[in-house]
Amino acid sequence: MSYAPSDLLDVVTLGLSEIASARRVSDGVRVVTHCMYPSNGLVEVTVRGGARTIVASDDGGAVGEAMSAGVPFKPADRQLAHLVRDQGLHLKDGIIYSPQMPIEAAPLAVLLVANAARDVAQWLYEHAKIKRTRDFRLLVAEFLQRTFDDRVAHTEE
């Protein structure tokens, strides 16, 4: 199917607006961004604040993303701080957050935190050794034996 240039713009704009969303939560606004973690999950950022200033945070999403994939993580903020410091962000207890910013800077704060969360999760995936808790060959052998045992000739070793 082809689209006229103006139709294509509408399709792309509508599609992007359906992906990203913002909703009120008890202590602020939760934003689903266009940034993606290595698992292809979308990065979410929470914006909290008052009438004049805000703070944006990933609420530990980057570290949680890596941990859910099996990356062992012990709180080591010093190990990760260099990944967010250059963007003017902070990291404490595995939570990435912006400094207080004027409320007008909320969209920029969301983008900064989302990009940093993606980068931290990516770094954790690349630099951590995922512990192998199971022997894949053994699992396959057990599965094959359970499934096909009656159809396979057994030999003594």
The pLDDT score that the predictor gives to residue 19 is 83
Ranges of the chain whose pLDDT falls below 50: none
The pLDDT score that the predictor gives to residue 2 is 60
Residue 17, domain CATH: 3.30.1460
The pLDDT score that the predictor gives to residue 126 is 87
In a domain, 150, yes or no: no
The pLDDT score that the predictor gives to residue 15 is 84
In a domain, 29, yes or no: yes
Domain range for 34: 5-131
The pLDDT score that the predictor gives to residue 129 is 66
Cα–Cα dist 156/57, whole Å: 61
In a domain, 74, yes or no: yes
- Residues 44, 32: contact at Cβ < 8 Å? yes
In a domain, 86, yes or no: yes
In a domain, 115, yes or no: yes
In a domain, 148, yes or no: no
Beta strand ranges found along 27-143 (DSSP E): 28-36, 42-49, 53-57, 90-92, 95-97, 101-102
In a domain, 19, yes or no: yes
Cα–Cα dist 56/95, whole Å: 10
* DSSP annotation of 75: -
- Give the number of domains in the chain: 1
The pLDDT score that the predictor gives to residue 7 is 83
The pLDDT score that the predictor gives to residue 44 is 97
In a domain, 106, yes or no: yes
Cα–Cα dist 119/113, whole Å: 10
